[in-house]
Chain A
Amino acid sequence: KQEVTQIPAALSVPEGENLVLNCSFTDSAIYNLQWFRQDPGKGLTSLLLIQSSQREQTSGRLNASLDKSSGRSTLYIAASQPGDSATYLCAVLGGAGSYQLTFGKGTKLSVIP
């Protein structure tokens, strides 16, 4: 059964700092990996999708990398802003022949002005 772990569970940084969020998964036979943002009490906003054959994806100040063989992904946020404060979720599609997304518990990010 696929398991996804995110470290750290919470992170507080001053505005302007660069930061890295970590995600690991147990079954490397994934099809893709998605990073989401979730604001309190709200839905899931997709940030980046990395296919299993890709090493990284970039969108604006966000860069996500994928090392499928070691079961790891990182989300790099450059020049953090208070508006980046949210919970960031990592989810993988696949593992054990499944097409369901398996989510981590998330990293709660607070960017202090």
Chain B
Amino acid sequence: EPEVTQTPSHQVTQMGQEVILRCVPISNHLYFYWYRQILGQKVEFLVSFYNNEISEKSEIFDDQFSVERPDGSNFTLKIRSTKLEDSAMYFCASIPGLAGGPRAYNEQFFGPGTRLTVL
């Protein structure tokens, strides 16, 4: 069964360093998402991406964050200068989008997450 994959599973970095988290969405999906979950807290929406553009972003997704689909399969989240408070589990998700009907009706499929630890 197709699934969303994410690499690495765990990333440790020093404060101020840049990190890139990678996701491979399900192959025929069109909408892509990043969420994060700080330990013990709710899962929070960061950004959605469609047709090589950000379609929606939250207040958390400031200038330190960027997303990119560099090729036909990968979807990346970059944090330019990490802070201690960026330590969290980051989840990628995708939906079929138009191919599977209006996006409002689609089930979101999540990857296993990348645990980011900022020291």
Contacts and interface: CB of A to CB of B under 8 A. Distances in A.
B113 A43 contact: yes
Main secondary structure of the interface of B (DSSP, over half): strand
Interface string B22-56: 00000000000101000001111100100000011
Nearest to A100: B45
B55 A34 contact: no
Interface residues of A, number: 25
Given A44-B43, A103-B42, A34 B58 contact: no
A99 B103 contact: yes
B107 A49 contact: yes
A46 interface: yes
A112 B73 CA distance: 43
A100 B58 contact: yes
Contacts, number: 56
A43 B108 contact: no
A98 B105 contact: no
A58 to B, nearest CB: 15
A32 interface: yes
B75 interface: no
A32 B104 contact: yes
A13 B58 CA distance: 37
Chain B interface extent, by class: 20 to 34
B104 A99 contact: yes
A42 B113 contact: yes
B109 interface: yes
Contacts of A31: 104-105
A43 B109 CA distance: 10
A44 B42 contact: no
Contacts of A101: 33, 35, 43, 45, 93, 108
A45 B111 CA distance: 9
Given A98-B56, A99-B55, A104-B42, A43 B103 contact: no
6 contacts: A31-B105, A42-B113, A44-B110, A45-B110, A49-B107, A100-B48
